[in-house]
Amino acid sequence: MGRYAPSHRSLIKRLLRIGALYVVFSRPASGLPHVSVGRVDTHRQLSAKYVIGCYHQGRRSSNVIMILKVSPWLLLAAIILWSLAWAQQSSPTSAEERYRPIIQQIEQMLSKLDDRGAGLFSLARLYAQVGDRQKALALLKESLATDEGFDPSGSEMLAPLRSSPDFARLAEQAQKRYPAVHKAKVAFTVPEKDLFPEGLAYDPAKQLFYMGSMYRRKVVRITEKGKVSDVIKPDLYHLQPIGGIHVDPADHTLWAAADPDDAHGSELYHFEAQGQLLERYSPPGPGRHDLNDLVLYRSSAIFVTDTDANLTYRFDRRTHVFTPLKLSRPQLFPNGITLSADATRLYIADWLGVIMLDLRDNVARDVHPGKHNTLCGIDGLYWYKNSLIGVQSAGTYRVARWFLSGDGRRVLAGKILEMGTPLVSSPTTGAIHETQFYFIANTGIDNYDDGKIVDPTRLEPVRIAVVALE
């Protein structure tokens, strides 16, 4: 959603009305600056003639505060110049500016990708977003010809093509080629309608599920019988929208990744079992960050994906340092992440497939999807008996299982567990309990935009579905 500069006239009237002699300009992590004003006697350190102080506020260095002691006319000029400058710098990034470099990057990698269909489908979506419908349709047709399971009908990024008869024909062909698969059922329902959950975790020792809420910025606890209660209450710690969540089996504490908003950047949280916040950390470096999903590596580290920065980090639990992983190719919107049962292989999902990092020698390579399979666009990713379980969007949502070779480098066979039904209307992540895979069936994320509910009439209770893995 677009952001707009503060009204110069309203700010000036307010300043002159209260007789302010100083003004505070703050630049948040994203969005436009906030302007606060007050009288000189409300601050102690007002000694310089004009600029009294400049310092960093909060956890991010981009929150810069300047305190000025000025005459009303100089104050007026400063406000105008400040607002105009930040309005230009804070204007929303256009689709062309954001996606054109990614298009060029994929086109350079395309011939080397193990999953060429994934590259073609990604390019089709990106070209649709930058307005080149003809190119997007050609790439879409080529990606569907790989017979890897792509169905464009559910992709919001391909919405600009929906008025085209060619797109309608391709979507119809895909739906005929890949009919619905229904094997899951509803395990229980969470009555609260405006949670917009992203992450789901399970603690086998306590037999409890944990689910994070992006909109309410809290974590709920769910028994196996479906009883729901808050374990981390909203507004208690000024949390960000909660994303991926995992339970530490050693002490039953919770780790969660959180999305950025206009006030603060993305964070990594650590809570004790009863909900007390123990630690919070921000990813390093300038630019956009969105810590998305995570997996615990023994008791020493956490691997976490940063979707906006196109990075995956190793977070050291002792030193609290985020270290970017060196992988075999650039990552493109990394998301789901999991470890093999013996914790020797790390699997990272992004738009182009799944990268496997061998933690014994730090050698990384793409998992080969095999014929007529794709590993692209996996949100929740999990390890189960030498196979990967994924909540995937290959244009439309589905839950799938991929059986791996002994070395974990290649898919030997794929199996669709749920596709084309109301139980995969907007799934994101899940959790494995014994031989069952539980997943959030209807997150409602398509009704959630920039921290706001788009259409309250579309809200509905959250359904947790379950499908057998054996």
The secondary structure of 140-202 as a DSSP string is HHHHHTT-S---GGG-GGGGGGTT-HHHHHHHHHHHHHS--EE--EEEEEE--SS--EEEEEE
Residue 78 binned pLDDT confidence (cut-offs 50, 70, 90): low
The residue that leads in pLDDT, 442 or 47, is 442
CA distance 304 to 149: 28
> What angle separates helix 116-129 from helix 133-144, to the nearest 10 degrees?
160
Percent of the chain with pLDDT over 90: 75
**pLDDT confidence of residue 358:** 98
Cβ contact 414:403 at 8 Å: yes
Q: Count the neighbouring beta carbons within 10 Å of the beta carbon of residue 395.
A: 26
3-class state of residue 322 by DSSP: strand
**pLDDT confidence of residue 71:** 55
CA dihedral 396, 433, 247, 419 (to 10 degrees): 0
Residue 23 binned pLDDT confidence (cut-offs 50, 70, 90): very low
**pLDDT confidence of residue 262:** 83
Cβ contact 189:201 at 8 Å: no
The residue that leads in pLDDT, 310 or 23, is 310
Asked whether the CA dihedral 354, 116, 425, 157 is positive or negative, the reply is positive
3-class state of residue 299 by DSSP: coil
Listed residue (301, 237, 297, 226) closest to 269, CA to CA: 237
Q: For residue 347, report the phi and psi dihedrals to the nearest 5 degrees.
A: -115, 125
Q: State the average pLDDT over residues 2-7.
A: 36
**pLDDT confidence of residue 8:** 41
Structure-block tokens of residue 296: 């615990």
User: Which tens digits make up the pLDDT trace of 119-170?
Assistant: 999 999 999 999 999 999 999 999 999 999 999 999 999 999 999 999 999 9
pLDDT greater than 90 at residue 276? yes
CA distance 23 to 275: 39
**pLDDT confidence of residue 460:** 97
> Any idea which of 43-57, 110-124, 285-299, 314-328 has the lowest mean pLDDT?
43-57
Q: State the average pLDDT over residues 444-455.
A: 92
User: Which tens digits make up the pLDDT trace of 98-112?
Assistant: 899 999 999 999 999
DSSP letter at 426 equals B
The secondary structure of 236-294 as a DSSP string is SS-PPPEEEEEE-TTT--EEEEE---SSS--EEEEE-TTS-EEEEE---SSS---EEEE
CA distances from 411 to 321, 373, 414 (A): 34, 8, 7
Laid out side by side, the sheet with 363-366 consists of 337-339, 345-350, 353-358, 363-366
Question: How big, in percent rounded to 5, are the helix, strand and coil portions of the chain?
Answer: 25, 35, 40
**pLDDT confidence of residue 58:** 36
**Which of these CATH numbers, 3.50.50.60, 2.120.10.30, 3.40.50.920, 3.40.50.720, describes 181-468?**
2.120.10.30
CA distance 103 to 128: 11
**pLDDT confidence of residue 24:** 47
Residue 54 binned pLDDT confidence (cut-offs 50, 70, 90): very low
> Which amino acid is residue 226, in one-letter code?
G
Q: For residue 160, report the phi and psi dihedrals to the nearest 5 degrees.
A: -60, -15
The residue that leads in pLDDT, 248 or 80, is 248
Listed residue (51, 165, 33) closest to 88, CA to CA: 33
Rounded to the nearest integer, the mean pLDDT of the chain is 86
Can you give the residue ranges of every domain in the chain? Answer: 8-89, 95-177, 181-468
